[in-house]
A = this chain, B = another copy of it.
Amino acid sequence: MSQTNPPFMSGVPELLVLRLLARGEMYGYELVKAVRLVTGEAIALGEGVIYPVLHALERNGALKARRKAVNGRTRVYYTLTAKGQRRLERLGQEWKRVSSGVNAALGDAEHA
């Protein structure tokens, strides 16, 4: 117990990565910070989460990687493929389904 972002995180990193990459190509380290930003600091993902997700998605054909040297440093930029786009849509729907289910359960303080 006592993780930084407790429960409710399964599948979330993948969804966030997909969502961010749908806006344009990014590299791993950049994603780590972007996640913090776009979630309003609500969610922080370490590199130990981001990189494995990136690699799994690439292996899966959802992302395409491209190495690029910037300032003498090497960055690996990722882009969404068509498959990744579909996956994002599917996951987005699942998220909506699950979260609205949970919210329905939480917000029924009175009625039977």
For this chain, the copies found in one complex come to 2
Could you tell me the dominant secondary structure of chain A's interface residues? helix
CB under 8 Å from chain B, chain A span 38-60: 38-40, 42-43
| A11-B6 Cα distance, complex, nearest whole Å | 8
Q: Which residues of B contact A98 (CB under 8 A)?
A: 5, 7-9, 12, 42-43
Q: Which residues of B contact A35 (CB under 8 A)?
A: 105
A16 on the B face (CB < 8 A): yes
| A92-B108 Cα distance, complex, nearest whole Å | 13
Q: Which residues of B contact A16 (CB under 8 A)?
A: 102, 105
Q: How far is the CB of A88 from chain B (nearest CB, A)?
A: 10
Known contacts A7-B15, A16-B102, A95-B106; 10 additional CB pairs below 8 A are A7-B14, A8-B10, A8-B95, A9-B10, A38-B104, A39-B102, A40-B100, A43-B98, A92-B106, A99-B103
